[in-house]
Every structure is written in structure tokens, then in C-alpha cells.
């Protein structure tokens, strides 16, 4: 029997007994290739991919769905079960083809050198790494996310959030060795997404409040970002406290 987890963005939320919860463990990468056990390709060549409506198996979030978000949280080491992938609500194979659903993904990470101030930066990489997965389109960020799973990738075997979570887990751990532990939570149960949504908004608001207090002269380093070059090849953002990126 699966023990129902307690979700905690700002305040704990108990998962009702009638809500399906599945708990998986990301397996170690196989010797013959980091993603050879994933049924679709995984790599930067798929950045900028688009899944059209007629090609999609399901849509997660998007402009016609009110409640959707993604969130990255820094936790204490003892609070995170490394490699854990939790699905709250129907898994991909249990969703009805052609439909759209409320959706949330929460990534919790821990490491001795990780600071809460890094949450926004790491959260933005969800977009990049999600688009590495063939047939898993990811657009936007925060509470505007829009994802689609293609029929072709679903038929190839991309039929569980366990696989998506495993790919994201390996990509994050490979890119950021400072992350010692990581847990990924996917939520497709509408009432749970709605319950968590307001808490997520408060996290974004607090981040924005802190950022608005900074001025260019308060920092000694600016940043460049070219994440959107997959679809805007000549674009580069120079990011400063008073000059946020075009995507937010």
C-alpha cells in the first residue's frame, strides 16, 4: 500500500484517500548510455520542438487550462528522498487521448551548497531539459506552462511520468553536481493542482519582491542567456536586476 505523501510548498497539504498516488524510483543510468532505457531520444537537438494539436496525445496546462504551474524548491538534505518520482493523479497512460488537463510539476532539491536564491535559476532549466525529451513539448514557465506529449512518442513508450521524471532527474544531476538529492512530483489531479496553485503564486510573488529591491549597482555580475535560440537563433538577453529577460 502506497503511503500518501504530504505536499508542502508553503503549508502542508494532505492527499485525500480517493486520489491516486504512485511512487517510483529513478533507476541508475545504464552502462551503455545515460538515456538508453528511455524509449525516446533525449538531447538538445529537440529544443524548440513543437507538437501540433493533431499530433498530440495529451495537453498539460496551456492557455485553455486555468490551473497549472511548475516550481523548483530548495530543501534540507534530510527532507528529500533522492531519486523519488511521485505521480499524484492519473499517470500519462491513464489520461484520455486528445484531452487537456490541469498540471503541476514540483522539483525539490538539496545540497550543501544550494541556496534558496538559486530556485528561480534552476526552475528555468525545467523548460530547457523538458524540451530535450523527444515528443515532450514545453513552453513558457511558472504559471503559464504549456506542454504536449506527441502521439508518436507515446506509441514509442513514453507513457509514464516515471520516464519523464527519470530523464529530468539525470539531466539536472549531470548539469549541476551541487545537487546531492532530488525528488520530482507530477500532479494531474485537478483538485490538488488547484489547492497548490495559490501557494505557488505566493512563492513567485516573494521572489519578485526580492528581485524588485535590487538595482544594477547592487551586484557585481550580469548574465547572458540564449535559451530561446532554439527558435530565435540570433537572440541573446543581457540580464541585470533592472533588465529582466524577455521571457521573464
pLDDT of residue 246: 66
The band of 175, judged by pLDDT with boundaries at 50, 70 and 90, is very high
pLDDT of residue 10: 77
> How many residues are given for the chain?
248
Q: Where are the domains of the chain?
A: 6-212, 220-248
Q: Average the pLDDT over 183-203 and give the result.
A: 96
Helix, strand or coil, per DSSP, at residue 116: helix
Q: Average the pLDDT over 99-127 and give the result.
A: 94
Distance between CA 170 and CA 73 in Å, rounded? Answer: 17
Q: Average the pLDDT over 8-21 and give the result.
A: 86
Q: Which residue has the higher pLDDT, 214 or 122?
A: 122
pLDDT of residue 218: 77
pLDDT of residue 244: 74
Judge contact between 147 and 64, C-beta under 8 A: no
Report DSSP state, residue 133. Answer: B
Question: In the chain, what is the greatest distance between 2 CA atoms, to the nearest angstrom?
Answer: 55
Joined grid coordinates for residue 233: 537563433
Report DSSP state, residue 3. Answer: P
Q: What is the mean pLDDT of the chain?
A: 92
Assigned CATH class of 6-212:
alpha beta
Of 162, 184, 161, 163, which Cα lies nearest the Cα of 172? 184
pLDDT digits (tens, 9 = 90+) for 202-212: 999 998 887 77
pLDDT of residue 173: 97
Helix, strand or coil, per DSSP, at residue 21: strand
Compute the 3-state secondary structure of the chain and give helix, strand, coil in percent, each to the nearest 5: 35, 25, 40
Q: Average the pLDDT over 84-101 and give the result.
A: 97
190, with CB counted inside 10 A (0-12, 13-18, 19+), is middle
pLDDT digits (tens, 9 = 90+) for 24-79: 999 999 998 889 999 999 999 999 899 999 999 999 999 999 999 999 999 999 99
Amino acid at each position: 500500500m502506497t503511503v500518501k505523501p504530504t505536499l508542502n510548498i508553503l503549508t502542508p497539504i494532505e492527499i485525500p484517500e480517493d486520489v491516486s498516488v504512485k511512487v517510483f524510483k529513478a533507476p541508475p543510468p545504464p552502462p551503455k548510455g545515460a538515456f538508453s532505457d528511455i524509449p525516446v531520444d533525449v538531447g538538445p537537438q529537440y529544443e524548440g520542438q513543437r507538437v501540433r494539436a493533431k499530433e498530440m496525445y495529451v495537453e498539460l496546462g496551456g492557455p485553455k487550462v486555468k490551473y497549472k504551474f511548475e516550481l523548483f524548491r530548495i530543501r534540507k538534505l534530510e527532507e528529500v528522498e533522492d531519486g523519488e518520482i511521485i505521480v499524484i493523479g492519473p499517470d500519462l497512460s491513464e489520461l484520455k487521448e486528445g484531452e487537456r488537463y490541469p498540471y503541476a510539476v514540483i522539483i525539490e532539491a538539496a545540497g550543501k551548497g544550494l541556496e534558496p536564491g538559486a530556485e528561480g535559476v534552476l526552475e528555468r532549466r525545467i523548460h530547457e531539459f523538458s524540451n530535450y525529451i523527444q515528443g515532450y513539448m514545453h513552453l513558457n514557465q511558472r504559471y503559464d506552462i504549456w506542454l504536449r506529449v506527441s502521439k508518436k512518442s507515446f506509441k514509442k513508450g513514453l507513457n509514464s511520468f516515471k520516464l519523464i521524471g527519470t530523464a529530468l532527474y539525470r539531466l539536472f544531476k549531470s548539469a549541476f553536481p551541487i545537487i546531492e538529492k532530488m525528488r520530482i512530483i507530477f500532479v494531474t489531479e485537478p483538485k490538488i493542482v488547484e489547492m497548490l496553485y495559490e501557494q505557488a503564486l505566493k512563492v513567485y510573488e516573494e521572489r519578485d519582491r526580492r528581485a524588485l529591491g535590487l538595482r544594477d549597482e547592487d551586484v557585481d555580475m550580469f548574465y547572458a542567456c540564449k535559451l530561446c535560440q532554439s527558435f530565435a537563433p540570433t537572440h541573446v538577453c543581457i540580464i541585470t536586476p533592472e533588465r529582466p529577460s524577455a521571457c521573464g
